[in-house]
Structure 1
């Protein structure tokens, strides 16, 4: 009788465990299917997903906290984010970093501001009143590619001079027409849907 009771108890426990595992498996499967369908449809909410954090992002964050030290106390959390793209501007096999912003603290009716940093995080220069994207041409000056900035629907060619690009592109040579299509775009914030990072 005691053995029969133990066998019956073991069978019940085994069945209960299997049902529990099956239920958990079904829940996980349902969540995964829901997430996949929302991701494919572009309706998944990834606003709380952690941003990719790599060495470059850390370097840029550190530099922005130094460059904007006086601004930080008055900036809101919503204004403390940036976009970046890497490009080797001088063919030294090391990327430089274009840093852009797209919020009310850094942008106004004249455009937005940003930075170009060397691979080690040092500042090549800051720029003001530009619309994104920025175009990198195939021509160069002082071993750095010339850039094309857009401001107010007009395009301006910006060239390196004495180790810096000018900070206000609208005072430089205006191009007629549109930026040539063969130029590389960087900081195409709207077109590429670049990832944003907090600092």
Structure 2
């Protein structure tokens, strides 16, 4: 992916983190809002937190120990509350070297941004063929902007990862609807238009999902059934100093 594709993302402040806070109401509607405190998280604070985290391990600490610690920290912040009819799962906590390397190559991330670029991924079977795809959202000053973050849909063939599709303006959680179009589950993602929280329904057509602004716009998730991936409560995780996996981890 060439840098010019990120032009729309880089217009936002380098410190902006766009998040979605979700609560389940009795009438099954979804209340979504941007968290203003998350926008105040600066690159300097992120680097400081990273340094503190590194200090808790010795230089020779095994990566498995780090993975366990990441999982424990993340588990301390509950998953987002989702509307009735939608189950959810948080992003994986184990560093994935091949995925990390692919992100760097495809998005052409400069080395100086490794520490402040974080990725969140889940396995999900989008076409019910019995094989999981990988959906990964990549956040940070190089890959995110005021409208959302970059993401990749990947397949695994012959033991190697392959990019199926690239996305921009992605916010979490991503709802994988029970409904299918042309053999693929619909994806429903939070979409902010002039600060109004809406959702964009991405229906698979002609071999790909549409761009987020080109999806069918809906105002709530009422009546939607499916599974939400990357359903982390990013607002509270960031406030707790949990930033996710970063590209400096192999």
- Pairwise same-fold verdict (TM > 0.5): yes
Secondary structure of 1:138's counterpart equals strand
Computing the radius of gyration over CA atoms, which structure comes out larger, 1 or 2? Answer: 1
1:176 alignment partner in structure 2: 219
Q: What is the number of equivalent residue pairs in this alignment?
A: 152
Structure 1 moving runs of 4+ over 6 Å: 53-56
TM-score computed with the length of structure 1 as normaliser: 0.64
* Structure 1 Cα separation of the partners of residues 95 and 124 of structure 2: 13
* Structure 2 Cα separation of the partners of residues 175 and 133 of structure 1: 15
| Structural mapping, 1:114-125, within 5 Å | 114-120=151-157, 121-125=161-165
> Structure 1 residue 56: deviation in Å?
8.3
The structure whose RCO (Cα within 8 Å, separation 6+) is larger is 2
Q: Extract unaligned runs of 5+ from structure 2.
A: 1-50, 58-62, 69-92
2:53 alignment partner in structure 1: 47
Gap change, CA 1:67 and 1:175, over 3 Å in 2 = same
Secondary structure of 1:165's counterpart equals coil
Secondary structure of 1:178's counterpart equals coil
> Structure 1 residue 176: deviation in Å?
3.3
1:26 alignment partner in structure 2: none
> Structure 1 residue 140: deviation in Å?
0.9
Gap change, CA 1:180 and 1:124, over 3 Å in 2 = farther
Among 110, 117, 138, the residue aligned to 1:72:
110
| 1:155 pairs with 2:199 | yes
> Structure 1 residue 115: deviation in Å?
0.9
| 1:104 pairs with 2:104 | no
| Structural mapping, 1:76-87, within 5 Å | 76-87=113-124
State the Cα RMSD in Å: 3.0
TM-score computed with the length of structure 2 as normaliser: 0.52
- Contact 1:83–1:189 under 8 Å retained in 2: no
Bigger shift: 173-182 or 154-163? 173-182
The structure with the largest helix share of the pair is 1
Gap change, CA 1:157 and 1:179, over 3 Å in 2 = farther
